[in-house]
Amino acid sequence: MGADRRRRGASALVLLCAMAILTAPGLAAGIAHAAPGAPAAPGAPAAPAAPAPEPGAKSLEQVRKEIEDLYRQAGAATDAYNLAEAEVKAQSEKIVAIANLVVAGQERITALKSRAGAAARAQYRSGGLPAGAKLALSEDPGQFLDGAGRLRQGEKAASDLLTELDRTQNDLKRYAQDASAHWATLEANRVKQEDAKNQIEQKIKTAEELENKLEAEEKARLIQLEQEAQYKAQTAWLSTGAMKDVNGAATEAGKRAVQYATAQMGKPYVWGAEGPKAFDCSGLTSQAWLAAGRTIPRTSQEQLRLLPKVALKDMRPGDLIIYFDDASHVAMYVGDGAMVHAPRPGRNVTMAGAGSMPIKAVVRPDA
Q: How far apart are CA 276 and CA 209, in angstroms?
A: 28
50 and 245 in contact (C-beta within 8 Å)?
no
First to last CA, the chain: 27
Burial class (CB in 10 A: 0-12, 13-18, 19+), 281: buried
Q: How far apart are CA 72 and CA 200, in angstroms?
A: 10
Amino acid found at 275: G
Q: What's the gap between Cα 133 and its chain centre?
A: 67
The Cβ of residue 112 has, within 10 Å, a number of other Cβ atoms equal to: 19
- Please choose, from the candidates 247, 299, 289, the residue with its C-alpha nearest in 3D space to the C-alpha of residue 264: 289
Q: Which of 17, 33, 182, 341 is catalytic?
A: 341
Q: How far apart are CA 132 and CA 118, in angstroms?
A: 16
280 and 345 in contact (C-beta within 8 Å)?
no
33 is catalytic: no
Q: Which of 17, 33, 182, 281 is catalytic?
A: 281
Helix or strand (DSSP H, E) at 333 = strand 329-335
Q: Could you give the residue numbers annotated as active site?
A: 281, 329, 341
